[in-house]
Amino acid sequence: MKIISGGVCAAQGFTANGIHCGIRKNRVKRDLALIYSSVPASAAAVYTLNLVKGAPITVTKAHLLGGIAQAAICNSGNANTCNYNGIEIAEETCSILSAELGIPADNIIVASTGVIGELMDIAPFRSGIPSLVAGLSADGSDSAAEGIMTTDTVKKEIAIEFTLGGKTCRMGGIAKGSGMIHPNMATMLVFITTDAAISPAMLQKALSGDVKSTFNMLSVDGDTSTNDMVSVMANGLAGNEIITDEGEDFTAFMAALNTVTVNLCRMIAADGEGATKMLECIVSGAYDIDTARTVAKSVVCSSLVKAAMFGADANWGRILCAIGYSGADVDVSKVDVSFRSAGGMVTLCKNGSGVPFSEEEAKAVLLEKEIEVLVSIGDGDISAKAWGCDLTYDYVKINGDYRT
């Protein structure tokens, strides 16, 4: 398995594009993205569990009941959520795209991201989709990645090459996500493509299993979005024997998917609104996976921990505090805490009590851009990771006037 270029266009048969169609006021920012497979593909998705859902979620759920898709379209600048005509807009978007691509509207994944509760007009889609389709390119992943960005400061894309049954396969993904990130199934908007052959049922099984240890272990600010969705299209053009059951090939496919999703998780965490540092909490020594995940997520979600990381303050007591209220059954007398980064490693707590350490060495560790919070909670052999970022003044500035 190796990382390659190409994003969502790395896999055979996929093209993409991103344009400005007029949804966003800023004309230099792309606001409409499209990913297209030259042939129908197995498709799977996971969606937000927020009771308030964007209209595109409802439409996409209905479209993917058959497990097949051939295109994914996404706009930024307007979430199409809490609109009286939201479903009508999402369905009409698919209808317009259907006519341009010559594919069934039911084979289209539709997504939106941006401000919640703002009226949306179909006009930008009607005028923009023809040029969006005309510009589809095997080099279009960058444009598509830009088209789904809102407060993101960088594009997020990844592609890998791997082997299934002796056949070379590729998988790529793009994501958007910077704020309102505290997934309860998946996260923000993520689009993954692959030329591997896998049945819709097994693709759904792979995705639903993967998000438990990846996107569900990611938090920027504790807010679960109304529009969160992760979708995968697998068109089978790599020519491997189709995966219809668990086995060696399914395990290899899961490993590839996890490589893509973990990379995207780290990118999203690093680009949290106002963030200056990416945090990775690695919990070890647990007796079961739920305990490990609960502890790791509690640490990266703590506002006090996040603030301490911003200030490069080795206030490890805040980590113990987050573990204590996490709800996990942990013997605090067995907890060890260390920080690690490119600046070195420092141990601050052993068996639930503080140990002498150098404040200067600790600060050097915490001044780096990527910081690992290492937590051992016992003698078990189960571990888990969670990702987050520091909490800065800029987070409040960004969200204080996000709509206006």
Last residue of a domain, one of 270, 292, 310: 270
Domain coverage including residue 319: 278-400
How far are the Cα atoms of 180, 237, 325, 347 from residue 366, in angstroms, in the given order?
25, 46, 24, 12
Query: Closest by alpha carbon to 219, among 96, 385, 331?
Result: 385
How many domains are there within the chain? Answer: 2
State whether the Cα torsion 262-267-271-277 is positive or negative.
positive
Is-contact 387 218, C-beta < 8 A? yes
Last residue of a domain, one of 251, 270, 289: 270
- For residue 18, the surrounding DSSP H or E stretch is strand 14-19
Residues in the chain: 404
Give exposure, 169-193, as e/b (b: 16+ Cβ within 10 Å). Answer: bbbbbbbbbbbbbbbebbbbbbbbb
The reply to whether 144 and 175 lie within a common domain is yes
Burial of 47 (0-12, 13-18, 19+ CB in 10 A): buried
pLDDT of residue 179: 74
The reply to whether 58 and 151 lie within a common domain is yes
The reply to whether 213 and 284 lie within a common domain is no
User: In 3-state terms, what secondary structure has residue 367?
Assistant: coil
Query: Closest by alpha carbon to 172, among 113, 257, 240?
Result: 257
The reply to whether 260 and 305 lie within a common domain is no
pLDDT of residue 12: 98
Is-contact 162 256, C-beta < 8 A? yes
Binned average pLDDT, 10 residues per bin, the chain of 404 residues: 97 98 90 98 94 94 98 96 96 98 98 93 97 98 96 94 97 89 74 98 97 92 85 98 98 98 95 92 98 97 95 97 96 97 98 97 98 97 96 87 74
For residue 361, which amino acid is it?
Answer: E
CA distance 63 to 94: 10
Instruction: Provide the β-strand partners of residue 77.
Output: 114
The reply to whether 161 and 297 lie within a common domain is no
CATH number of domain containing 317: 3.10.20.340
Last residue of a domain, one of 211, 242, 270: 270
Helices (H) and strands (E) in the chain, counts: 11, 15
CATH number of domain containing 215: 3.60.70.12
- The pTM for the full model equals 0.94
List active site positions: 187
DSSP 241: P
CA distance 252 to 250: 5
pLDDT of residue 227: 87
* Residue 234: partners with Cβ closer than 8 Å, 6 or more residues away: 41, 42, 43, 193, 194, 195, 196, 197, 198, 203
pLDDT of residue 174: 98
